[in-house]
Structure 1
Amino acid sequence: MTPAELSRTVLATVRRAVEADELSLTGPVPERIVVRKPPRPGCGDYATNVALQLAPLTGAAPLAVAGVIGRRLAGAPGIARVEIADPGFLNITLEGESYEALVGLVRERGSRYGIGAHQAPATGDPTGEARADAYAAALRRLHAATGIVPPARRPHPVRETADELRRTLGADATAWALLRPPAEDAPRTDAAEHLAQREGNPLFRVRYAHARTRALLRNAHDLGAGPGTASGLRHPAETELLGLIADFPRTVEAAARHGAPDRVARMLERTADAFLRFHDECPALPKGDEKPSAVHGARLALADAAGTVLANGLTLLGISAPRHL
Structure 2
Amino acid sequence: MTPADLSMTVLRAVRRAVDENALRAPVPARVRVERTRPGGRGDYASAVALQLAGPAALSARDVAEILRERVAGTPGIGRVEITGPGFLNFTLDASADAFATLMARVREQGPRYGHGDALAGDLLRCSHASEVRAAVTADVVGGLVRSQGARAHIGCDGVPDPDWARLGITVEAEEPFPAKIRPVPAGATAGELLRRLGPDATRWGLLRPAGHDRAPLGDDLLVQGEGNALFLVRYAHARVHALTRGAALLGVTSEPGEEPGGDEAGALLTLLADHPAALLAAARHRAPDRLARHLEAVARAFLDFHDAASPLPVGDEKPSAAHRSRLALAEAAGTVLAGGLSLLGISAPEHL
TM-score of Structure 1 vs Structure 2, range by shorter chain: 0.7 to 0.9
The Cα of 1:34 is off from its aligned counterpart by 1.9
Aligned residue in 1 for 2:161: none
Aligned to 1:113: 113
| 8 Å contact kept, 1:135–1:179 | yes
Say whether the 8 Å CA contact 1:213–1:303 is kept in structure 2.
yes
Please list, as runs of the form range in 1=range in 2, the aligned pairs for 1:19-98 lying within 5 A after superposition: 20=20, 28-39=26-37, 44-54=42-52, 60=59, 62=61, 65-85=63-83, 88-94=87-93, 95-98=95-98
Match for residue 261 of structure 1? 288
Contact persistence 1:130–1:161 (CA under 8 A): yes
One-letter identity of the residue aligned with 1:81: R
Cα distance in structure 2, aligned partners of 1:41 and 1:316:
34
Amino acid at match of 2:205: A
1: CA distance between counterparts of 2:71 and 2:40?
A: 19
Cα-Cα RMSD? 3.3
SS in 1 for 2:80: strand
- CA drift of 1:116 comes to 7.2
Question: Structure 1's 79 and 126: CA in aligned 2 closer, same or farther, altered over 3 A?
Answer: closer
CA-to-partner distance for each residue in 1:181-225, whole Å, 9 max, x for gaps? 222222111223x22323222212211221221222222222221
Check conservation: 1:149, 1:257, Cα contact below 8 A.
no
Segment of structure 1 superposing worse, 86-95 or 311-320:
86-95
What are the superposed Cα offsets for residues 252-277 of structure 1, whole Å, 9 maximum, x if unpaired?
Answer: 23333332222211221221122223
Change (3 A) 1:269 1:81: same
User: Kindly tell me: are residues 147 and 180 of structure 1, through their superposed partners in 2, closer, same or farther at Cα, counting changes over 3 Å?
Assistant: same
Cα–Cα, structure 1 residues 309 and 130, in superposed 2: closer, same or farther, change >3 Å? Answer: same
| Amino acid aligned to 2:7 | S
Q: Offset at 1:177? A: 1.0
Q: Report the Cα distance in structure 2 between the residues aligned to 1:285 and 1:180, rounded to whole angstroms.
A: 33
**Structure 2 CA distance for aligned equivalents of residues 129 and 42 of structure 1:** 44
Amino acid at match of 1:91: F
Structure with the largest fraction of strand? 2
CA distance in 2, matches of 1:226, 1:186: 45
Code of the residue aligned with 2:296 in structure 1: it is E
Task: Mark the runs of 5 or more structure 1 residues left unpaired by the alignment.
Answer: none
Q: Provide the residue aligned with 1:293 in structure 2.
A: 320
Distance 2:107 2:254 in 1: 10
Q: Match of 1:183, SS?
A: coil
User: For the residues of structure 1 that align with 2:32 and 2:307, how far apart are their CA atoms?
Assistant: 31
Please report the TM-score for the alignment, with normalisation by the length of structure 2.
0.77
1:10 corresponds to 2:10? yes
- Aligned position for 2:166: none
Number of corresponding residues: 317
* Equivalent residue in structure 2 for 1:276, among 286, 291, 303: 303
Q: Aligned equivalents of 1:175 and 1:134: distance in 2?
A: 7
Closer, same or farther in 2 for the Cα pair 1:298/1:152, shift >3 Å? farther
SS of alignment partner, residue 91 of structure 1: strand
**TM-score normalized by the length of structure 1:** 0.83
Distance in 1 (alpha carbons) for counterparts of 2:132 and 2:92? 45
Task: Please give the secondary structure, in 1, of the residue aligned with 2:151.
Answer: coil
User: What secondary structure is seen at the aligned counterpart in 2 of 1:81?
Assistant: strand
- % identical aligned pairs: 50
Q: Which residue of 1 aligns with 2:190?
A: 162
For the 8 Å contact 2:33–2:45, the answer to whether it is kept is yes
Unpaired segments ≥5 residues, structure 2: 153-178
**Is the 8 Å Cα contact of residues 207 and 289 (structure 2) preserved in structure 1?**
yes
Distance 1:38 1:218, change over 3 A: farther
Say if 2:35 and 2:45, in contact at 8 Å, map to a contact too: yes
Change (3 A) 1:39 1:293: farther
| Aligned-residue offset at 1:115 | 4.6
What one-letter code is carried by the residue in structure 1 that aligns with 2:103? V
Q: Which residue of 1 aligns with 2:156?
A: none
How far the C-alpha of 1:109 sits from its partner, in A, is 2.6
Q: The residue matched to 1:198 in structure 2 has which SS?
A: coil
Contact kept in structure 2, 1:181 and 1:187, CA below 8 Å: yes
